Structure 1
């Protein structure tokens, strides 16, 4: 390869075309990160013009070019391997300065000088687009042509009265900035300032041009320059690799682009989406799910491109078939992401999945929606929804979902059995606590005892209550679909209950015990409902008669139709049990599932005293294959008395009960809150989180 520094006059003055391959990414430079710094560089060079410090041109970066072989025209053509963003931006800047100068009637000689840096004069060419010194990738050519040819910012802006491509925005930024800068000078000084600016643009800026030789591999150099620590995304590298390989194989590149990739150059695919702690373009997110589906392995975000390159090499598919497959599943992903064209039940499932905030299931959905019919998809979603929502309600861990979904993919990939049967049998056969499909007994316990309002996000509480509401829909009740985000979660027994909600007088329990019982019920599902708007605080905390009247007057939800005339602790428990049954019906679980209750080896005695608040009653009767209490005690006994361990530390430690350290943190929390683990005292750590220590004797 040959490396040489060039000023812009030496770069653009000759008859030359710098062509960006269609498989490179569109123009993505932005104002704050790129345009403003470039203009500041120009101004820095302008201020130093004519001084000793300005003898060396201002360096703008490197450009990598590859000579296009077999040229017959008089115009030299170079393919841009790296640096297309910089080249495109320089042309937009030069054109903007040229057009503003013409608008302000500045000297014609300087305008012509700028014109020679932006337009070729090849009389032998029959293609009008050959006049452009830089020719960007397909997605940007229309906007670039209009920007370079409009003649003024006003003329270009009129062509794009609403949404403007990034290239158009760049031209308008430079045109406005240059115009404001020139107008700050008095008319007598403006011509001199402009002369100096043109001199800087011609001679005061420099790029390093790397021309590749016949033995240099453009793709290897492109990847080396961009695969580590640069703004290029993994999907940009993937596109470049695919079409470079298509060129190498002599395939119809333009046709492949139009049929299989053009859709991915839409702005939708470049929008950033959040996946856990990661924020990356939607196309990169899809790329990760696609590779997981195809390879049945986890693909770290920083290895997307390298993994895809191996996939292309090892798949055995012809490149045209591979690109068609990628495009097909891209359409499937877009459908799943937007819900467009899906059945209402499928859209509801996807909204609930979004509230769960787990994306590890997406490769499974891609495979099923890309391969199976509507009836099979419906049954698969029903099984997945039951499994995921039951586990969420029961506060069971999600930490093993990655591995579980990979195992499920392995079962689904052969396609020899119907996908709904495979998914059902696979999930029904999970007996390890970390993957267990909760039973109806589990759900009733969680709904009746756990403070789900505190333990779940508001969005997840809404989808549970909405699920119950939809399940209560009958043929004789009108169907009203609410935007869940607009519904408010309301405590029927208010959190500030002391003034209008006296405790029941009993002779068997102390006031402290009755208060503990009530606080234990306060945040359970039986005491929660949905309303279309937040109730007035005075009504919300006031007597039940007024509160019930207000809810019934403004609500058409099924879960509010049967609110009783009296609301007390027993009513909360009754409603909780009713909602639990409704949820179990809405989330059917096959009777053949091997439940932990059938395998319970040993449990402690359960305190059935009705005077004890549900939150402090023993949870030993909750189905569990192994004894969580024994696990907690064993972990703490490995430390001196007085050492405080958090729930996470206890859950992630091994014991004879859980040698693989796969106990659910939710199960540990339940045990500790129950307060009946022999020899263990529940406490809080320095951060205020639930913890435990050995009890001192």
Structure 2
């Protein structure tokens, strides 16, 4: 490679076209992080020039270029390997200066700046060669509009598509028009300002141009250069890596990009979304889950690019080890692009579901608070996207596993490893069953473990936990609300997933948290020790599931802590939910009082509904009976 410092006039003068490969990232520079700093550098030099101070060359960074093989008679073209954000910004700035020269009727400087942003039409063969820079595919429409407006007042701007008006290229153009006018207002003579800008561009702004020779590895240089601008996403590196491997014409490369990658450059995939406490672009999370499934390993989001290269190289060099898995793995660049597009659609079906059952699963999964199941979900969508019965059974089983562990207070810290192992076990099951996998197979796998870090609680353990341990205050309220919502739906219909998800409900204690004033204990003839035991038992049971319900609005504290006779009609008034039909007044009213025995009896009913929603592990199913319930009551009945 060869490096030389060049001023902007020397770089952009003459008939030359700098082409940004379509597989590079879109234009992403912003005012706060980039434009204002660049403009500040330029204004500092221009102000010194206007003040007749000594001006020194100002270094704007570096750009890496690769010369294209041009046929005789065609114009010189080069690919921008690194520095496209800076190059594009400088072009937008000079277009703004050109257009402001037109406003102030300075024809000479208009022509000079136009010569730095445009090639003469008579000198080029292709339309795109008329531009000094030809951006990547997703930015071309906005760049063409900015380049061709030619009117500073932008009379037609309001008619432009929102996609163009909201693009960073269009915003950058407006930014430079605005700051130019502000700078002019600080000086007496606009013509002097325009001349100063020309002198600065012509002599004092420099970029180090690194020209690659034919033997240089452009991809390696692209990966290792740490540009001054916005950090490259792993997806940008992956895109560059894949498309540089494509063997074919420019038209073929553009076809592959448009058909298989263009969508990944949209705002949707680059929007930052949260998983746990971490925010990253949505495409990062997708790639992490995709690679975790393909490699059957726990892939760290910080190692995405390296992991992807390993996967591509392995499928090309050692394809046999990927053979006979759940589906055909890609073994060349085109097939990798096809697979990425296919699994991205599956990922969207999960994260932006149109199916009601998938949407309900996602809602409950968010309450559980783990994203480690996504590789397994991708596999399930791949296997059963056209078999809804199998898919729904799988979702119910996985949901049962997660919710049972959550209410039993079991850890989720090893889920990433565990669900990777589940995928491996599914693969082994596939080999043993001639390739047929059912949701029942996964239910068996999730039922196997006896380890506290991964086992699925059976009905005995579940009931023991829900009866003996307070759940209110032990798990977050939004998690508990989800559980009560599901039980409420199950009370209406055995197929709980068919019910719409209720929102904005409030958890209410039936026996109040502050019960002492209106809910006295029967202490007559009891020893101090017995009284303490009674109080302890009540304070335990008040936070168990049998004493909790959902209402549409918070009760007045005086009612919430008031007597049962005052509180009961208010609960019915504020909620018509299935949970609260339990408290309806009847001729032979068994609920004229609410005490510990009533809490336990209601808990029995709710736990039965819980089990109807979230199934038991296969190897540990137990018959639900009143005798079994009595055994559990004895454990806490004092």
What's the TM-score, normalizing by structure 2? 0.87
Matches within 5 A, 1:290-689: 290-316=290-316, 317-340=331-354, 342=355, 344-372=356-384, 373-413=387-427, 415=430, 416-474=435-493, 481-484=500-503, 486-505=504-523, 507-508=525-526, 510=528, 511-563=531-583, 564-593=591-620, 608=635, 610-611=637-638
CA shift digits 1:379-401 (9 cap, x unpaired): 11111111111111111111221
Q: Which has the higher contact order (CA 8 A, sep 6+)?
A: 2
Distance 1:531 1:335 in 2: 32
What's the secondary structure of 1:523's corresponding residue?
coil
Alpha-carbon contact 1:349-1:381 (below 8 Å) kept = yes
Instruction: Quickly say closer, same or farther: Cα 1:123–1:228, change in 2 above 3 A.
Output: closer
Task: Summarize deviations over 1:509-555 as a string: whole Å, max 9, x none.
Answer: 64433322222123222222222222333332333333322221231
- Is this contact kept in 2: 1:147–1:156, CA < 8 A? no
For the 8 Å contact 1:17–1:78, the answer to whether it is kept is yes
C-alpha deviation, 1:574, in angstroms: 2.3
| SS at 1:455 equivalent | coil
Q: 1:576 to 1:554 in 2, by over 3 A?
A: same
Deviation at 1:577, TM superposition (A): 2.4
User: Contact 1:336–1:350 at 8 Å: present in 2 too?
Assistant: yes
Counterpart check, 1:96 vs 2:96: yes
Matches within 5 A, 1:149-188: 149-151=148-150, 152=152, 154-155=154-155, 157-160=157-160, 162=162, 164-186=166-188
Counterpart in the other structure of 2:36 = 36
Q: CA deviation at 1:353?
A: 0.9
Could you tell me how far 1:79 is from its partner in structure 2?
A: 0.3
**SS where residue 154 of structure 2 aligns?**
helix
CA drift at 1:126: 4.2
SS in 1 for 2:445: helix
CA distance in 1, matches of 2:408, 2:229: 43
Task: Specify whether residues 156 and 390 from structure 1 end up closer, same or farther in structure 2 by C-alpha distance, changes over 3 A only.
Answer: farther
Say what the alpha-carbon RMSD is for the aligned residues: 2.8
* CA–CA distance in structure 2, aligned partners of residues 504 and 179 of structure 1: 83
Contact 2:361–2:399 (CA under 8 A) maintained in structure 1: yes
Equivalent residue number for residue 241 of structure 1: 241
How far is the alpha carbon of 1:497 from its aligned partner?
2.9
Cα distance, 1:367 vs structure 2: 1.0
Structure 2 CA distance, aligned partners of 1:143 and 1:390?
A: 52
Q: Measure, in 2, the Cα distance between the counterparts of 1:306 and 1:481.
A: 43
What secondary structure sits across from 1:348 in the alignment? helix
Report the Cα offset of residue 559 of structure 1.
0.8
Query: CA 1:287–1:474 in structure 2 vs 1: closer, same or farther (change >3 Å)?
Result: closer
Name the structure 2 match of 1:650.
Answer: none
Q: Separation in 2 of the partners of 1:191 and 1:578?
A: 85
Aligned length: 596
Asked if 1 retains the 8 angstrom alpha-carbon contact of 2:505 and 2:552, the reply is yes
Deviation, structure 1 residue 199 = 2.0
> What is the CA-CA distance between 1:176 and the residue it aligns to?
1.8
Question: Secondary structure at 1:308's aligned position in 2?
Answer: helix
Structure 1 unaligned runs (5+)? 596-605, 612-697
Q: How far is the alpha carbon of 1:145 from its aligned partner?
A: 0.8
**8 Å contact kept, 1:429–1:593:** no
Q: CA deviation at 1:227?
A: 10
Shift of 1:26: 0.8
Aligned to 1:460, what secondary structure does the other structure show?
Answer: helix
Secondary structure at the aligned position of 2:122 is classed as coil
Cα offset, 1:162, TM superposition? 4.7
CA contact (8 A) 2:296 2:424 kept: yes
- Are the aligned partners of 2:68 and 2:79 in contact in 1 as well (CA < 8 Å)? yes
Contact 1:153 1:175 in 2 (8 A): no
Matched residue SS, 2:472? helix
Does the CA contact (< 8 Å) of 2:444 and 2:618 recur in 1? no
User: Is 2:9 aligned against 1:12?
Assistant: no
The unaligned stretches of length 5 or more in structure 2 are: 317-330, 584-590, 623-632
Report if aligned partners of 1:444, 1:581 keep a CA contact under 8 Å in 2: no
Name the SS for the 1:258 alignment partner. Answer: helix
Q: Is the 8 A contact 2:443 2:618 kept in 1?
A: no
The equivalent of 1:130 in structure 2 is 129
Once the two structures are TM-superposed, the CA of residue 53 in structure 1 deviates from its matched residue by 7.3
Moved more, 214-223 or 508-517: 508-517
Secondary structure of residue in 2 paired with 1:431? coil
**d(CA) in 1 for partners of 2:502, 2:186:** 53
Structure-2 change in CA distance of 1:200 and 1:228 (3 Å): closer
Provide the TM-score with structure 1 as the length reference. 0.80
- The 1:83–1:549 alpha-carbon spacing in structure 2 relative to 1, beyond 3 Å, is same
Q: CA deviation at 1:129?
A: 2.7
Check the 8 A contact 2:291/2:308 in 1, yes or no.
Answer: yes
- Preserved contact between residue 2 and residue 210 of structure 2 (Cα < 8 Å): yes
Structure 1 residues 233, 182: closer, same or farther in 2, change over 3 A?
Answer: same
Contact 2:70 2:76 survives alignment (8 Å): no
> Separation in 2 of the partners of 1:321 and 1:288?
19
Equivalent in the alignment of 2:325: none
Contact 2:82 2:227 in 1 (8 A): no
416-425 vs 42-51, greater mean Cα deviation:
42-51
